[in-house]
Chain A
Amino acid sequence: MSDEKTHIVPYRVYAFVLVALVVLTFLSIAITGYDLGKYTVAGALIFAVVKSFLVLTYFMHLKYDKPYIKIMVGFVFAILVVTIVVTFLDYLYR
């Protein structure tokens, strides 16, 4: 139980992830500069989701963690999404 090996992540992985995050940030600024109408929100949020996925996977080590921790994290995000959907059952149809 005590001799679980920790995975040492090389520095360059983090550097690559940072580059990706910065590129995504600029892309999201660029894309919201255009008038996409009602898709602006969706566009910006997709970039945010991809970015936070990168942070969760690499910076927060989920890639190297045991499956049950990944399941928990996924579950919590799912609960949050379901809560938003259920709340909007009220506001969308009022």
Chain B
Amino acid sequence: MQSTNAVNQANYLEYRGRFKGLFGWIFSTDHKRIGLLYLYSMAVMFSVGVLLGLAMKLELLAPGKTIMDAQDYNATFTVHGVIMIFMVVVPGLPAVFGNFLLPIMIGAKDVAFPKLNLLSWWFYVAGVFLVLAALLFGPGTPDTGWTFYAPYSFKTGTNMLPAIFGAFILGFSSILTGLNFLVTIHRMRCPGLKWSKLSLFVWTLYGTAWIQLLATPVVGITLVLVALERLFGVGIFDPALGGDPILYQHLFWIYSHPAVYIMILPAMGAISEIIPTFSQKHIFGYKAIIASTMAIAFVGYLVWGHHMFTAGMSGTAQYYFSLLTFLVAIPSAIKVFNWISTMYKGSINIQTPFYWAISFIFVFMIGGLSGLVLGALAANIYVHDTAFVVGHFHYIVFGGTGFAFFAAIHYWFPKIFGRMYDKAWANIGWIVFTIGFLTLYSPMFYLGMMGMPRRYYDYLEEFHGGNILSTFGSWILATGFIIIIVNLVRSARRGEKAEMNPWKGKTLEWTVPSPPPVENFDEIPEIAEDDGPYNY
């Protein structure tokens, strides 16, 4: 039955709608095309962010001014942060793989509100252009860091308003995507697909969508307040008028800490798909993974203060935030345990996505454990605002979300493009990238422990060795990135045709042709009582 499914429709890549060419893409309400629109726009922004990161590492190659002065360095890390956070990892896996796969994984033809879905992408593009406008025009590139901390964010003479407004619009895009996914998961599951039969990627998208919905408005209104402060001098965050800048930090992190879980939860979901497929074994602890996903989403909403331990909070609040931070580690560790147990006694098929998945677990563990160092009050005061923090969150955000993204693109690439990439080059790309990653970020732990502050374009002579190693690592990482991109771009056009189910996966997206037809299924599938997403 499944092999004949949907063979008599055009596939979504070749389908001709009302518009031709480029317009057929940027005005398409097809969730698969929107997913690819996000993929391409995010790939461009990610490349820009990588270039800025390389520039920063080059500046830190030697003490003193190497290629830029302090002001340029401040602008560079601000823009690097804004691009990487708001335009790459926050939309991240949901916008690309969520859009592409969610309807297929629940046996639907599209998301609940296809036009709204397209609108989210347009908002995304609008936000990107606004932020870029802040870079190129006006009195100067924003230099506040991606956190826009008050009161500096409304005192600085740089071009903050477009950047703030752009971030606001990007937030709106994120909210609309979350809203769309929630309604889709509630209303469009195919007959027989109960909540207890959803694949784990869908479950993590569900948890993520709730955070997107409930956390993003907080940063929205906070950024509006900063803008009003700049325009009218209202005084909400201005200590000269009675405002409390620490309240700004509270509000900012009420969003931005959950945003970390917006980034990491879908990444965990993708890993939870990949590990069972390449172990050819039922996922270990299906319900435990769902429960830990929801626990992370919920508890993660309430730990924001651990970014502010040195800001001047009350001691009571510090104890509370430290305690809850440690609690969040538990569900994350449960997941790692489940992934490892899934592999145990499985018939493991070692392929590129699997390499990415296990390296994800490795770097995520290091990132998570270094997070516990930061969550402990006493240790935090020692390493706060040092390179240690930079190392930690790059291990989580880049090592977590980034590695999972590469795992996901290598896993679903044959489904998305209908072609297989060159596996040998993909493996080479992975090993080079991983070595580069470890060389780039590991020295930061050491440097931070020794006391090197973050966000400085200069450093003392004693930190020179670690920085040389780190900069060297950034070049290896960039080489790996280029190998991966060239291989994928080339294969999307010229790779050999992929089968419907090259990895022998059991989730619904592997029952439709590669690439999927416009309407995904000829007939909406029905899930039998004893079927499940991981029944190997």
Would you call B316 and A93 a contact (CB within 8 A)?
yes
Would you call A89 and B317 a contact (CB within 8 A)?
yes
The yes or no answer to A71 lying at the interface (CB within 8 A) is: no
**Measured between C-beta atoms, what is the minimum distance from A93 to chain B in Å?**
4
Would you call A89 and B314 a contact (CB within 8 A)?
yes
**Measured between C-beta atoms, what is the minimum distance from B181 to chain A in Å?**
15
Cβ-defined partner of A79 (8 Å) among B186, B250, B301: B301
Proximity string of chain A (80-92) to chain B, C-beta cutoff 8 Å, 1 when within and 0 when not: 0011001101111
Would you call B317 and A90 a contact (CB within 8 A)?
yes
Would you call A82 and B302 a contact (CB within 8 A)?
yes
Chain B residues within 8 Å of A92, by CB: 314, 316
Chain A residues within 8 Å of B317, by CB: 86, 89-90, 93
Would you call A91 and B314 a contact (CB within 8 A)?
yes
**Measured between C-beta atoms, what is the minimum distance from B193 to chain A in Å?**
13
Would you call A87 and B214 a contact (CB within 8 A)?
no
Contact A89 B302, CB 8 Å, known A76-B214, A79-B214, A83-B254: no
State A89–B302 Cα separation when bound (angstroms): 12
**Measured between C-beta atoms, what is the minimum distance from A19 to chain B in Å?**
34
Majority secondary structure of chain A interface residues (helix, strand, loop or mixed): helix
The yes or no answer to A7 lying at the interface (CB within 8 A) is: no
State A18–B34 Cα separation when bound (angstroms): 46
- Chain A residue with Cβ nearest B301: A79
Chain A residues within 8 Å of B302, by CB: 82-83, 86
Q: Give how many B residues have a beta carbon under 8 Å from the other chain's beta carbons.
A: 15
Majority secondary structure of chain B interface residues (helix, strand, loop or mixed): helix
State A82–B314 Cα separation when bound (angstroms): 18
Chain B residues within 8 Å of A76, by CB: 214
The yes or no answer to B315 lying at the interface (CB within 8 A) is: yes
Within 8 A of A (CB), among B183-198: 186
The yes or no answer to A94 lying at the interface (CB within 8 A) is: yes
Proximity string of chain B (210-236) to chain A, C-beta cutoff 8 Å, 1 when within and 0 when not: 000010000000000000000000000
State A91–B317 Cα separation when bound (angstroms): 9
The yes or no answer to B436 lying at the interface (CB within 8 A) is: no
- Chain A residue with Cβ nearest B218: A83
- Chain B residue with Cβ nearest A80: B214
State A91–B313 Cα separation when bound (angstroms): 8
- Chain A residue with Cβ nearest B308: A90
Within 8 A of A (CB), among B22-41: none
Would you call B214 and A89 a contact (CB within 8 A)?
no
Chain B residues within 8 Å of A82, by CB: 302
State A41–B511 Cα separation when bound (angstroms): 60
Proximity string of chain A (49-79) to chain B, C-beta cutoff 8 Å, 1 when within and 0 when not: 0000000000000000000100000001001
Would you call A93 and B315 a contact (CB within 8 A)?
yes
State A61–B332 Cα separation when bound (angstroms): 39
Contact A94 B250, CB 8 Å, known A76-B214, A79-B214: no
Chain A residues within 8 Å of B315, by CB: 93
State A94–B313 Cα separation when bound (angstroms): 7
Proximity string of chain B (276-303) to chain A, C-beta cutoff 8 Å, 1 when within and 0 when not: 0000000000000000000000000110
List residues of chain A with CB under 8 Å of any chain B CB. 68, 76, 79, 82-83, 86-87, 89-94
List residues of chain B with CB under 8 Å of any chain A CB. 186, 214, 246, 250, 254, 301-302, 305, 312-317, 320
Among all A-B residue pairs, the 7 with the closest Cβ atoms:
A93-B314, A93-B316, A90-B317, A94-B314, A89-B317, A90-B313, A90-B314
